[in-house]
């Protein structure tokens, strides 16, 4: 590991990495050594001759559970100062704030589950941070790992150029992003909002802000409520102008 930000992924399917992370922004950053990626096969840490990584659940029920001894050996082989994360539907949600925090650190160790998931004791013994990428169930942790890595890598210094700044993206200030338009100015009878053609920067900024607020209010009431409550103390103290919730 020599890059400024290092990712180790423990998986039963190391061959699927880097996959889409080898393309575009993340792929170029990987080539330039801004981050490193090592995908380790969990099966390599099994000790029996069949390379068994799972077993039936105590207490009965459907499916198989990944063994704690095999996972512990795999984690021991890569663990260092980086946070060790288990991708799981029952984890805390992956938010842009968490992504930012992880991107600001030394990197991550990611454990990808399969089957019914992993034995609880290894989660506790290794102090794994449980993270969920959305409220639905996938077949394995590989896609969630890629999602987390892509979100982090694009925030690493030098990955995005000025033209791709994260400052105005969704979630950066606790709001969803405003709509975008490009040429032609009229397409299938639909005109680009006049204000965007006006060249009036302050009016454009106001329009975009209003659109962000409207979209957030309509689509994500919980984000809107959080945004409103972050705004409230500053308004009461008489300093509403500088308040942009979630802004650095």
Q: Under the criterion CB under 6 A, does residue 16 sit at the interface with ligand SAM?
A: no
Contact call for residues 22 and 146 (beta carbons, < 8 A): no
The DSSP-derived string for 57-119 is PTT--SS-EE-HHHHHHHHHHH-SSSPEEEEEEEEEE--HHHHHHHHTSSEEEEEE--TT-B-
Binding part of the chain for ligand SAM, among 9-17, 75-83, 112-120, 189-197 by CB under 6 A, reads: 112-120
Phi, psi (5° rounding) for residue 36?
-125, 155
The DSSP letter of residue 177 is P
Q: How far is the CB of 144 from ligand SAM (least distance, A)?
A: 4
Q: Under the criterion CB under 6 A, does residue 88 sit at the interface with ligand SAM?
A: yes
Q: Under the criterion CB under 6 A, does residue 62 sit at the interface with ligand SAM?
A: no
The DSSP-derived string for 126-156 is TTPEEEESSSS--S-SHHHHHHHHHHHHTTS
Q: Under the criterion CB under 6 A, does residue 141 sit at the interface with ligand SAM?
A: yes
Q: How far is the CB of 74 from ligand SAM (least distance, A)?
A: 14
Residue (96 or 132) nearer to ligand SAM, CB: 132
Residue (114 or 227) nearer to ligand SAM, CB: 114
Choosing from 2, 139, 182, 237, the residue that interacts with ligand SAM (CB under 6 A) is 139
- Sign for the CA dihedral angle at 187, 190, 194, 195 comes to negative
Choosing from 99, 113, 171, 223, the residue that interacts with ligand SAM (CB under 6 A) is 113
Footprint of ligand SAM (CB under 6 A):
87-90, 112-114, 116-117, 132-134, 136-141, 144
């Amino acid at each position: 590991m020599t890059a400024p930000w290092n990712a180790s992924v423990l998986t039963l399917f190391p061959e699927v990495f880097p996959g889409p992370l080898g393309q575009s922004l993340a792929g170029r950053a990987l080539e330039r050594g801004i981050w490193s990626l090592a995908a380790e096969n969990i099966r390599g840490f099994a000790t029996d001759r069949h390379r068994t990584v799972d077993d039936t659940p105590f207490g009965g029920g459907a499916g198989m559970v990944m063994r704690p001894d095999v996972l512990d050996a795999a984690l021991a082989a890569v663990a260092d100062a980086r946070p060790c994360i288990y991708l799981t539907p029952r984890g805390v949600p992956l938010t842009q704030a968490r992504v930012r925090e992880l991107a600001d650190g030394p990197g991550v160790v990611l454990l990808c589950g399969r089957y019914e998931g992993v034995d609880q004791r290894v989660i506790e013994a290794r102090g794994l941070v449980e993270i969920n990428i959305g409220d639905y169930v996938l077949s394995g942790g590989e896609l969630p790992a890629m999602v987390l890595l892509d979100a982090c890598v694009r925030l690493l210094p030098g990955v995005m150029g000025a033209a791709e700044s994260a400052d105005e993206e969704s979630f950066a200030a606790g709001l969803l992003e405003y709509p975008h338009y490009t040429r032609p100015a009229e397409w299938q009878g639909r005109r680009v909002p006049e204000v965007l053609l006006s060249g009036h920067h302050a009016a454009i900024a106001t329009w975009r802000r209003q659109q962000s607020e409207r979209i957030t209010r309509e689509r994500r009431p919980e984000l809107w409520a959080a945004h409103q409550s972050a705004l409230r103390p500053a308004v009461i103290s008489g300093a509403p102008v500088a308040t942009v919730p979630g802004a650095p």
